[in-house]
Amino acid sequence: MAEPLSAEEARRRFRAVARGRHPTRPHLDVAAAKARLREADPGIDIGPLLHFAAKRRWQPALLSLLPWGMSPEGRAYLAPLLLAALNAADRILRFVARAPATGEKDATEAKSPGTT
């Protein structure tokens, strides 16, 4: 894992971000990135995903993750994300259900006071 920043380095980065500058990121070579990924989840193979994504073929890229998503590690990783998505969908549906229908409001406003 990445080593924690010293107090002085953290202050320097905070000042830079507060002034609108982007923080500098340490250079990470491909071998180190692969090692970190394997350390985080040894069961994932992103080679096919990167192959298809480089060609902008998104459907096969996402389908290449399907075997990993069906594995116990993949399901454990995706479960919190799916629960958050379900919670957001539930809130949106409740908000939409409470909103008055615009067609009913327009129909009642269109009637004159003397007509039935």
For the segment 40-93, what is each residue's pLDDT rounded down to a tens digit? 767 677 778 888 888 888 898 888 888 888 888 888 888 999 999 999 999 999
Q: Is residue 32 part of a domain?
A: no
Q: Is residue 116 part of a domain?
A: no
Q: Is residue 10 part of a domain?
A: no
Which segments of 1-116 does DSSP mark as H helices, in order? 7-18, 30-40, 47-54, 58-63, 66-70, 72-98, 102-110
Number of domains in the chain: 1
30/24: higher pLDDT: 30
Q: Is residue 17 part of a domain?
A: no
pLDDT for position 10: 84
pLDDT for position 14: 83
Q: Is residue 93 part of a domain?
A: yes
Record the pTM: 0.42
Q: 38: Cβ–Cβ under 8 A, 6 or more apart, which residues?
A: none
Confidence of residue 114 (pLDDT cuts 50, 70, 90): low
Q: How many CB atoms lie within 10 A of CB 73?
A: 13
Report residue 5 as tokens.
């920043």
